Amino acid sequence: MNMFASCMITALILLTLPIIMTSTKLYKDKLYPYYVKTATSHAFMISMIPAMMFIYSGQEMVISNWHWMTIQTMKLSMSFKLDYFSMIFVPVALFVTWSIMEFSMWYMHSDPYINRFFKYLLMFLITMMILVTANNMFQLFIGWEGVGIMSFLLIGWWYGRTDANTAALQAILYNRIGDVGFIMAMAWFLLHLNAWDLQQIFMSANDNLNLPLFGLLLAATGKSAQFGLHPWLPSAMEGPTPVSALLHSSTMVVAGVFLLIRFHPLMEQNPTIQTLTLCLGAVTTLFTAICALTQNDIKKIVAFSTSSQLGLMIVTIGINQPYLAFLHICTHAFFKAMLFMCSGSIIHSLNDEQDIRKMGGLFKALPFTTTSLIIGSLALTGMPFLTGFYSKDLIIETANTSNTNAWALLITLIATSMTAAYSTRILFFALLGQPRFTPIISINENNPYLINSIKRLLLGSVFAGYVISHSITPTTIPQMTMPHHLKMAALAVTILGFILALELNLTMQGLKFNHSSHYFKFSNLLGYYPTIMHRLAPKTSLFMSQKSASMLLDHIWLESVLPKSIAFFQMKSSTLVSNQKGLIKLYFFSFMITMALSLSILNYHV
């Protein structure tokens, strides 16, 4: 009997302790953020023990705790699946969250509700842990909805701002559309396989699985912001930067990809769904990379970069490489969280300035942030032997050598070069050149919280790729033998993107800004997708419903058809027919004269 289960459960319970403490006076304490951060770091260290045990011995475990209920023939219980995916993801997520919590002790330092902020972050982390360690779909759904709700609460943290409320609502609505797919899959599994446990689903599934897999793909589209349900991710940048770093770069948005990875035994057998996934991911990665090229808000550029990398992960699932996609999830968490933290450092130092057209010359003023931003961007674009290389380059090579859709492969390569282009754009506008911000600012990055947290992620960005990819068990990643031009393809397009972007930026530096061309407007307004979807569809349905309910039923059928038409008809006909003039006295007088005359004549006649 070893410590595998005990350590894992201890780590998970350790995370819930600060939440339980909120009813005591610890919650009102000034040191509560420090307690939360320490709890997270200790949970990370404890969870490294089972992770290393797993790497050494390959031992997986399913912990089935508590029998909740049995609904006719289906048994629901609380069970944790501690296999390859969750064992490696939990330490990575805890490490990144530890750094982000330390960062937000600096970033949200002047916020009066900082204790509540940390409580929300911790609750988000707990629900994410529930999601990745779930062994049945019901528990997964609990974690799924939990991360959605915490995302809503955290995006709308500054709820006095209208845009923040709109963005939070947008996140909930788009996620809900994806949840429909999830529930459809759950219902199909319940009806046909009578199971929500992953083991039973994988054993007994042997007929046409198109419908539930399509439902799962829809759920991943909603949660991971694929094309069609993507506008919520750039809008989610209304939340504070730690929220963007944790939720919308490393942890929550990979939940959709994680779901598809969990169901990879089912997806291996179904080429239709694989093609659909591949095309969806390819379109997403190209579209969001195009949109990222002309944005002016630094957080939005990084958000689109996240969306593009998520599309890349979905492409990887589409070429039937779930382990590579998972590797990319883990490595991507490091450098993307660090990119967000560096942009948070820049924003705070420039007194809440987020527009890159108003930054510049920070190369000498913020040396540490500059260093980490450059290393993060290089890791993102897949510079050889940094972290991103171990996953991203492998993905491109695998796609090059597999029997895949050539169009999807081509646009993935184009999106890779665009990654380099917009990374260069960030570096150029934010760091190089002369300062474009107002000089009445004191720029100071000398806070130990900030420096330590970014330093940890920096070490992770440089070394984690090597460490993780050399420690994991052998998986289905194919042997890499290919001709030279295919091997160098990713590197070549990346270098092409760098050089092109640098030359364009340097050339255009002193020129006057022309009126925007059509391509610029397409890219800047996110392909007109939010404009059309958020305005046209609701306006049409509201217009139709108003016309049919109010005009048709009320005005016409209840008012105009009988009552008003009768009144109108009567009035028209009476004015047509009557020709009297109303001379009453004359009529009466003539009546009297006639009567008198007739009576007198009658008198003399008889």
Partner 1 sequence: MSMVYINIFLAFILSLMGMLIYRSHLMSSLLCLEGMMLSLFVMMSVTILNNHLTLASMMPIVLLVFAACEAALGLSLLVMVSNTYGTDYVQNLNLLQC
Q: What does the binding site for partner 1 look like in residue numbers (CB under 8 A)? A: 578, 580-585, 588-589, 591-592
Measure the CA–CA gap between 337 and 453, rounded to whole angstroms: 10
Measure the CA–CA gap between 436 and 429, rounded to whole angstroms: 9
Tokens read off for 603: 């008198």
The one-letter amino acid code at 326 reads: F
Q: What is the closest distance, in whole angstroms, from the C-beta atom of residue 599 to partner 1 in the complex?
A: 10
Q: What is the closest distance, in whole angstroms, from the C-beta atom of residue 604 to partner 1 in the complex?
A: 18
Which class for 388: exposed (0-12), middle (13-18), buried (19 or more C-beta within 10 A)? buried
Measure the CA–CA gap between 471 and 52, rounded to whole angstroms: 9
Of 173 and 593, CB closest to partner 1: 593
Of 68 and 591, CB closest to partner 1: 591
Q: What is the closest distance, in whole angstroms, from the C-beta atom of residue 605 to partner 1 in the complex?
A: 19
Alpha-carbon distances of 193 from 55, 69, 197, 203, 206, rounded to whole Å: 33, 18, 10, 10, 10
Q: What is the closest distance, in whole angstroms, from the C-beta atom of residue 547 to partner 1 in the complex?
A: 37
Of 557 and 589, CB closest to partner 1: 589
**Closest C-alpha to 220, from 177, 189, 266, 251:** 177
Q: What is the closest distance, in whole angstroms, from the C-beta atom of residue 163 to partner 1 in the complex?
A: 59
Measure the CA–CA gap between 424 and 410, rounded to whole angstroms: 22
Of 441 and 592, CB closest to partner 1: 592
Measure the CA–CA gap between 42 and 264, rounded to whole angstroms: 32
Q: What is the closest distance, in whole angstroms, from the C-beta atom of residue 601 to partner 1 in the complex?
A: 17
Of 438 and 570, CB closest to partner 1: 570
Q: What is the closest distance, in whole angstroms, from the C-beta atom of residue 592 to partner 1 in the complex?
A: 4
Tokens read off for 82: 């501690």
Measure the CA–CA gap between 54 and 49, rounded to whole angstroms: 9
Q: What is the closest distance, in whole angstroms, from the C-beta atom of residue 555 to partner 1 in the complex?
A: 28
Enumerate the H helices of 58-161 as residue ranges. 84-107, 114-132, 137-155
Of 480 and 586, CB closest to partner 1: 586
Alpha-carbon distances of 419 from 338, 433, 500, 501, rounded to whole Å: 17, 22, 12, 10
Question: Phi-psi bin for 304: left (phi > 0), alpha (psi -120 to 50), beta?
Answer: alpha
Of 439 and 582, CB closest to partner 1: 582
Q: What is the closest distance, in whole angstroms, from the C-beta atom of residue 595 to partner 1 in the complex?
A: 8
Q: What is the closest distance, in whole angstroms, from the C-beta atom of residue 563 to partner 1 in the complex?
A: 20
Q: What is the closest distance, in whole angstroms, from the C-beta atom of residue 585 to partner 1 in the complex?
A: 6
First to last CA, the chain: 144
Q: What is the closest distance, in whole angstroms, from the C-beta atom of residue 574 to partner 1 in the complex?
A: 9
In angstroms and rounded to an integer, the radius of gyration of the C-alpha atoms of the chain is: 33
Across the strands, what pairs with 197?
136
**Max intra-chain CA distance, the chain:** 145
Of 110 and 580, CB closest to partner 1: 580
Q: What is the closest distance, in whole angstroms, from the C-beta atom of residue 587 to partner 1 in the complex?
A: 9
Give me the residue label for tokens 């948005």: 253
Of 440 and 584, CB closest to partner 1: 584
Q: Which residues contact 385 (CB under 8 A, 6 or more apart)?
A: 465, 466
Tokens read off for 100: 């982000």
Of 506 and 595, CB closest to partner 1: 595
Write the DSSP assignment of 12-73 as a string of letters: HHHHHHHHHGGGSTTTTSTTHHHHHHHHHHHHHHHHHHHHHHHHHH---EEEEEEEEEEETT
Vertex 425: Cα angle to 419 and 426 (nearest 5):
95
Of 406 and 584, CB closest to partner 1: 584
Of 514 and 575, CB closest to partner 1: 575
**Closest C-alpha to 312, from 436, 456, 408:** 408
Work out whether the CA dihedral 85, 91, 95, 100 comes out positive or negative: positive
Of 385 and 591, CB closest to partner 1: 591
